[in-house]
Structure 1
Amino acid sequence: MDPAGATPRDGAADDVPISLPPEPPEVLTVLLVEDDDADALLVTDLLSRAGVRADMHRARRVTEALAILDDVRVDCLLLDLGLPDAVGLGALERVVAHVDGLPDPPAVVVLTGDAAAGAGAKAVAVGADDYLVKGEVDGDRLARALRYATLRRRSAVQQLALYRSEVRAAETMRLERALLPEAVVRDERISLMVGYLPGGNGLLGGDFFDAVERPDGSLMIVVGDVAGHGPDEAALGAAMRTAWRTLVLSGTHPGDILPLMERVLLPERQGPEVFVTLCQVVVTADRAAMDVYLAGHPLPLLVTRTDHGPRCTELTDAGRGRALGIPASGSWEASRVALPGSWTVVLFTDGLVEAKVTVDDDGSPTVPDARGRMPRLGVDGLRAVVAAELARGSHDVVPRVLRRVRTLHGGPLADDAALLLAGWDADGDAGPAERTSTLADSTEWDRA
C-alpha cells in the first residue's frame, strides 16, 4: 500500500501469479505485533467480519515476536512500528532480518498510524510485503492485504527454492565433469568402461577415478574414495582427482604420486578425521604387467579368459598401504602383477562390496543372520556379478553390474559406488576397444 492507505495491488492480477478464491482454503496463522490492546482487538474484529479464518498470535514487543517466530510457523506477521522496544523502521529491520533466516519465512505487513508521504515506500524497501495505515483500512482491505502478501511471499520462496535448485544442479554438473573426466588414453586397443552410482540421496559423493596414458605408452589408472558423503566430500574428491591427473601429466614418478597427493589432501580437507582411500594401477607399455599401489583401498580384480568363460579373481598378493590422511607411519610400495595376453582389470569403491544382499538371484528374500543383519555382497559377490555380466558380453557391462548390485541390495545403495574396467585384447585385429562413461540414475531405475 502507499502512505495514504490506497492499495494499488488489490486488483492487480499481474502481481499475483496465482488465481485466488474469495476465501482462503486454509486457516491463516497470523502474528500481530501490537502493544495497544484496543488496536489489537480492532484488528481481530476486522478479520472476523471479513470472514478470514485466522489463528491469531499476539506479541507486544519485537523481542516477544521473534521468540514466537522461532516456535510457531506463521503465514503473515502484522507489525506496528511504535513498540516499547523498537520504533519506526528499526522495528521492521529487526523483524525482516529474523524472518529472512527462517526456513519458512512469513509475509510481513506493516500496520501503523504513520501516514507520512514516502513511509510506505521506505518500509517496502526495507523488506515489508505491504504497508497499511490504521484507520484507513476496513476488514475487506485488510483481508486482501494479508492474502496477497502471504501468496507473494510464498511465490518468492518458491522462486528462491527453484533458483537454489538450479544452482545445485549446475554445481552438480561441474562436479560430475570433475569426478567423471574424459580419459586421456590414445591406445585404441585399451578398453575403458567407467560408471558412477550415487548413494541413497542421489547426490554425488567423494568417489573419483581417472585414466591417463603417459608418453612412454604406460597406462595409469586411479580409483579413490573420500571418507564421508556430501557436497564437501564431492568437492574434495574432485580436487584429489585433478591433483592426480596433474601429477601424472607433469611426469611425476608413480611411486611419488601418493605422498604428494597426501600433501594436497591435508590442507584441503574439512577436518583431521577426513581421509582418502585410493588404488593406483600402472600398466606397462607392453601390457604384460602392472604395478598396483594401494592406500587403504579394496584390492582390484583381474578378469581373464578361460574355456568356461570369464574368470574373475582378486589380486590378493598386492601389498596394502595406509589410507591418505591417516596419522600413522607407513609408505606405499608397488606390487608387480603379471598380465596374460588378454585381460581386464576391475577397480571399484567400497560402496559396491558394502551393499547388502536382500534378495537372491531368483528374487527370493534373503534370510538375515542370527543378529538380524543382512549379508553383504562382499568381494566374492562382486566377482560373481562381474564375471556373470561379462559372460553376456562387454557392451554396457558397467551399468549392468551397477544395476545388478542395486537389485540385490533392494534399492539405492547406502554409499556411492564407482566402477572402472580397463582391458587389453591381445588380438590386434579386434579394432578399437569400447569406451563408455556412465552416471547411473537410481531414480530412473525406480521408474523403469
Structure 2
Amino acid sequence: MSVPVPRQREAPAAPAGPPVPLPDGGLTLLVIEDDPVCSVTFPEMLDTDGNRVRVRTARNLTEAARLLTDDVHCILLDLALPHHGGAGNGTGGAASGAPEAGGGSADALGTLRQVLRLAPSHAVLALTSEGDAERAAEAVRVGAQDYLFRDELNGRVLSRAIRYAIERKRADLAQRQLTESRLRAQENARLERGLLPTPLLGGSDLRFAARYRPGRSRALLGGDFYDTVRTPDGTVHAMIGDVCGHGPDEAALGVELRIAWRALTFAGLCGDQLLSTLQQVLEHERADDEIFATLCTVDISPDGRRAGVCLAGHPSPLVVRAGLPPRVLPYEASGPALGLLPHARWPRRQVELGGAWSLMMYTDGLIEGRVGAGSRQRLGQEGMVEIVARQLAAGLTGEELLDATVTEVRALNGGELTDDLAVLLLDRG
C-alpha cells in the first residue's frame, strides 16, 4: 500500500553554483527495504529535466548488490532492515520477518556501513520513522548524505532530497579526491626535493648554480641527475648525467647513480675506475637491459686552473675563459654511455682553465629543443653557444645566466621542453 504523504521536512538547499549535470536518461533510485507485504511505494518523481525517476527495490543486501548497476545514482536504505553481518548471506526481510521500526541502532547502522562499503561512490539516503530522529542523525554522521522520515514522504520533496544527496555526494567525492591529490603532491614534493642534491663545496672559492626541469608533467624529478662535491684534498668534482627515458623508474635510477657517484668519489675513485664501477651499479639496478645512461664528470684541481674531463656518451661541457668567447670542449677520446658495452673504457682528458673561467655542464634536453614553432631544426650545441654568448655580453652570470638561457631555449621551442633538462654552472674569478 502507499505511504501517506502529508508533509515532509525541507531538505537542505543544494550548494551554491551551477548543479553538476545529471545523466540524460534520468535518475535511478535503488530502495533497500525489508517488508514484502507493506512495501514502500512512491509517487511519480521527476528530475530537473522532467525525466521520470526510476525506482528499483531490493529486500536485502544480496539483492541490492545484484541491482546496483552503473546507472543507479542514489540508494534509499530503510534503517529497519535487520543487520545480518554480511551482504552475501542471502537472507533478508522475507526470511526474518519485518523488524520493529525502532530496532537496534547498532544493527541499523551496521547495515548502513555495509551499504556504504558496497557502494562507496553512490549517494545514500536513510529512511526511518519520525520517532527515531536520533538514529537518523547518526546515520548522516556515519556517512549517509541525508535522512527521510517514512511517514512523511511526498514525491516533490523526495525528488528534491535525491537530487541534493547526489550533488552532495559528488561534492564530497570531489573534495576527497582533491585532498588526496594535494597530500600525494605534498609527499612527492618532499620526497623529490630531498632526492635533489645539495652541493658540498665548503672551503672552495668556486661559485655553483644549477637549474633542473623534468620533462614529466607535474613531476619534480626526471631521469637527469647532477652533483658537485669537494674532497679533502681540495679537488672539486662535478658530474651530470641522463638516464634514457622520462618515467619514475628512470628518475629513481638517476638518484641511485648520483648517490653512488658521490660515495665513490669520496672513496677516492675517479675517471675510468669510477665510471666502470658506476656501470656495474647501473647493470644491477636497471629494470631492463636496454636501459643506459650518459655521463660527464669533471674534477677541478685544488688551485682551480686545470680540470680532468671524462665523457660517457654525454655532450661536452661549455667553457668560457676570461676575454674569450664561449666554446664547447672537444668530444674526441670519449667513451660510450654506461650500460652499452660490458668492458668499456673512458679516457680522461686534461683541460687548462686558467685563472678566471666558467664551466657549464648540461643534458641534451637543453640542446634538443626546436628553434621555432613547427620547425624540425634542433637548437644544437652551436645554437646553445650563441645564446650563452649573447647572455654573457649582456653582463649575466651565475643564476641569472642559467635562467636567461633556459628561458630563451623554451621560447625558441615554442613552449615547455618535452625532455628532462639539467644545467650546472661552476665559475671562478
Question: Shared topology, TM-score over 0.5?
Answer: yes
Contact 2:8 2:154 in 1 (8 A): no
Q: Which digits, 9 at most, give the CA deviation of each residue in 1:284-342, with x for residues without a partner?
A: 22333323233333232233344xx5222243124122334x5x423342322222313
Contact 1:26 1:53 in 2 (8 A): no
Contact 1:292 1:318 in 2 (8 A): no
Please show how residues 100-179 of structure 1 align to structure 2 within 5 Å.
Answer: 100=120, 105-109=121-125, 128-130=144-146, 132=148, 137-179=153-195
Of 388, 391, 403, 2:390 maps to: 388
Number of the residue aligned with 1:379: 381
Of 344, 358, 378, 1:344 maps to: 358
Contact 1:179 1:237 in 2 (8 A): no
Number of the residue aligned with 1:428: none
CA separation of 1:288 and 1:267: change in aligned 2, threshold 3 A: same
Question: Could you state the TM-score of these two structures normalised by the residue count of structure 1?
Answer: 0.69
CA separation of 1:228 and 1:121: change in aligned 2, threshold 3 A: farther
Number of the residue aligned with 1:356: 370
Number of the residue aligned with 1:445: none
User: C-alpha separation between the residues in 1 aligned to 2:290 and 2:111?
Assistant: 44
Contact 1:280 1:293 in 2 (8 A): yes
CA separation of 1:202 and 1:214: change in aligned 2, threshold 3 A: same
CA separation of 1:385 and 1:333: change in aligned 2, threshold 3 A: same
User: C-alpha separation between the residues in 1 aligned to 2:22 and 2:259?
Assistant: 54
Q: Which digits, 9 at most, give the CA deviation of each residue in 1:270-293, with x for residues without a partner?
A: 555544332222222233332323
User: C-alpha separation between the residues in 1 aligned to 2:342 and 2:195?
Assistant: 29
CA separation of 1:128 and 1:215: change in aligned 2, threshold 3 A: same
Number of the residue aligned with 2:104: none
CA separation of 1:254 and 1:99: change in aligned 2, threshold 3 A: farther
Number of the residue aligned with 1:405: 409
User: C-alpha separation between the residues in 2 aligned to 1:271 and 1:31?
Assistant: 50
Greater radius of gyration (CA): 2
Please show how residues 169-318 of structure 1 align to structure 2 within 5 Å.
Answer: 169-199=185-215, 201-204=217-220, 205-253=222-270, 255-265=272-282, 268-306=285-323, 309-318=324-333
How much does 1:109 deviate? 3.6
SS in 2 for 1:310: coil
Bigger shift: residues 291-300 or 33-42: 33-42
User: C-alpha separation between the residues in 2 aligned to 1:122 and 1:96?
Assistant: 14
Bigger shift: residues 214-223 or 284-293: 284-293
Aligned residue identity for 2:230: E
User: C-alpha separation between the residues in 1 aligned to 2:174 and 2:420?
Assistant: 30
How much does 1:54 deviate? 5.3
User: C-alpha separation between the residues in 1 aligned to 2:350 and 2:54?
Assistant: 74
Contact 1:179 1:208 in 2 (8 A): no
CA separation of 1:51 and 1:193: change in aligned 2, threshold 3 A: closer
- How many correspondences in the alignment? 387
Q: Which digits, 9 at most, give the CA deviation of each residue in 1:226-254, with x for residues without a partner?
A: 33324444344334333333333344455
Aligned residue identity for 1:321: P
SS in 1 for 2:242: strand
Contact 1:354 1:377 in 2 (8 A): yes
Bigger shift: residues 54-63 or 171-180: 54-63
How much does 1:402 deviate? 0.3
User: C-alpha separation between the residues in 2 aligned to 1:400 and 1:163?
Assistant: 36
Question: Could you state the TM-score of these two structures normalised by the residue count of structure 2?
Answer: 0.72
Contact 1:193 1:421 in 2 (8 A): yes
Aligned residue identity for 1:238: V
Contact 2:8 2:153 in 1 (8 A): no
CA separation of 1:171 and 1:26: change in aligned 2, threshold 3 A: closer
User: C-alpha separation between the residues in 1 aligned to 2:391 and 2:17?
Assistant: 57
CA separation of 1:126 and 1:210: change in aligned 2, threshold 3 A: same
Q: Which digits, 9 at most, give the CA deviation of each residue in 1:141-179, with x for residues without a partner?
A: 423432332233233223323323332332343245335
Q: Which digits, 9 at most, give the CA deviation of each residue in 1:77-131, with x for residues without a partner?
A: 556879999666999778645654xxxx342346699x99998689768754445
- Is residue 301 of structure 2 the alignment partner of residue 323 of structure 1? no
Aligned residue identity for 2:173: V
Contact 1:299 1:316 in 2 (8 A): yes
Gapped regions of structure 1 (runs ≥ 5): 1-5, 360-365, 369-373, 426-448
SS in 2 for 1:413: coil
CA separation of 1:112 and 1:255: change in aligned 2, threshold 3 A: farther
CA separation of 1:76 and 1:33: change in aligned 2, threshold 3 A: closer
Contact 2:272 2:348 in 1 (8 A): no
CA separation of 1:7 and 1:336: change in aligned 2, threshold 3 A: farther
User: C-alpha separation between the residues in 1 aligned to 2:209 and 2:258?
Assistant: 17
Residue identity (%)? 35
Aligned residue identity for 2:334: G
User: C-alpha separation between the residues in 2 aligned to 1:164 and 1:228?
Assistant: 28
Aligned residue identity for 1:151: E
Contact 1:240 1:261 in 2 (8 A): yes
How much does 1:216 deviate? 0.8
CA separation of 1:99 and 1:259: change in aligned 2, threshold 3 A: farther
User: C-alpha separation between the residues in 2 aligned to 1:162 and 1:295?
Assistant: 44
User: C-alpha separation between the residues in 1 aligned to 2:91 and 2:396?
Assistant: 74
SS in 2 for 1:211: strand
Aligned residue identity for 1:282: D
User: C-alpha separation between the residues in 1 aligned to 2:244 and 2:89?
Assistant: 49
Greater relative CO, 1 or 2 (CA 8 Å, sep 6+): 1
Number of the residue aligned with 2:30: 33
SS in 1 for 2:27: strand
Aligned residue identity for 1:315: P
User: C-alpha separation between the residues in 2 aligned to 1:10 and 1:208?
Assistant: 57
Contact 1:47 1:139 in 2 (8 A): yes
CA separation of 1:254 and 1:316: change in aligned 2, threshold 3 A: closer
CA separation of 1:288 and 1:401: change in aligned 2, threshold 3 A: same
How much does 1:139 deviate? 2.4
